[in-house]
Amino acid sequence: MWHFCVTNIHPVSYSFFHCIGNCKATVKFRALQEQLCLVLHNDPKPGPATFIVQCLYVSPVFDNQSQGFTHLVISSFRRFLKKSKPAITEDSLDVKNSAAYLLVNIIRGQIKHDEMIVMKILETFDVKLPNVEKALCQNKEKDYLSCGKAQELIEQYTFELVKSQLYTIAVTLIEHFSISHYGQSFLLDMIESNQFKAAEKWATFMGKPMLSILIEEFIKRNMLKDVYQIIKKNNLKQDFPDVYKRCKER
């Protein structure tokens, strides 16, 4: 895997480290994205998506530059997908399982990536619970207790994120894996911590009862512009006619 990834990514990684401190970041980042997109268009085997997952396995070796390099790899792949999505079929069946295996290793601390990378892996590769289950069962010879524990692993990791007040990432996992253990107190904790976007995302996922509480809390804080947008986006005009009119007039 190491040789496979480094051989294909070497020209891009060399340019990445060469430009650090020497170039305007945005301009060079776009140029590096283009180079990596060219690598992906050359169809690295067994496929572009699997290639990206394997690059994520090795990117922690870049130490202080790991986060920037990882962001480059993922953002380039997303850009590549926008241009070439109809052609991406060859490795689509296996890549979710490969990404899930990477995810499990990150959660267990065996591969060093921060929580934002976990969120990006979920969003980019659409990893589902059966994929996580399969990834855990691949290690059953070494850790036979893992098989059948996918839900528990994800829920425990989510709990740790909530405890650390990493609400945006926690909400992504809650929504992605349909975790139902959190209630009104979770919403209020996010609001008290000024994590308003995460609170709105979670309330939207939960539906009208939580959205109503969110709106009431936002009104208390005089966040009328946000209230107006929430009511409008979620078709709640009939539920909050006076509030909607008041917000609209403001």
Give tens-digit pLDDT for 69-103: 888 999 999 888 887 754 544 556 578 888 999 99
> For the whole model, what pTM was predicted?
0.81
Q: Which residues of the chain have pLDDT under 70?
A: 1-25, 85-93, 139-148
Separate counts of helices (H) and strands (E) for the chain: 14, 0
pLDDT for res 4: 44
Two structure tokens written together for 125 = 């590769």
Going by the DSSP 8-state scheme, the letter that residue 47 receives in this structure is -
pLDDT for res 147: 67
For residue range 133-171, list pLDDT tens digits in order.
988 887 655 555 566 689 999 999 999 999 999 999 999
Closest CA to 127 of 109, 147, 145, 106: 106
Distance CA 43, CA 67 (A): 25
pLDDT for res 47: 83
Residue with the two structure tokens 């691949």: 138
pLDDT for res 28: 80
Residue with the two structure tokens 């480290």: 17
Give the number of C-alpha atoms closer than 13 A to the C-alpha of residue 48, restricted to the C-beta side: 23
pLDDT for res 5: 52
Question: Quick one: CA torsion of 2, 6, 8, 13, rounded to 10 degrees?
Answer: 150
CB 214 within 8 Å of CB 203: yes
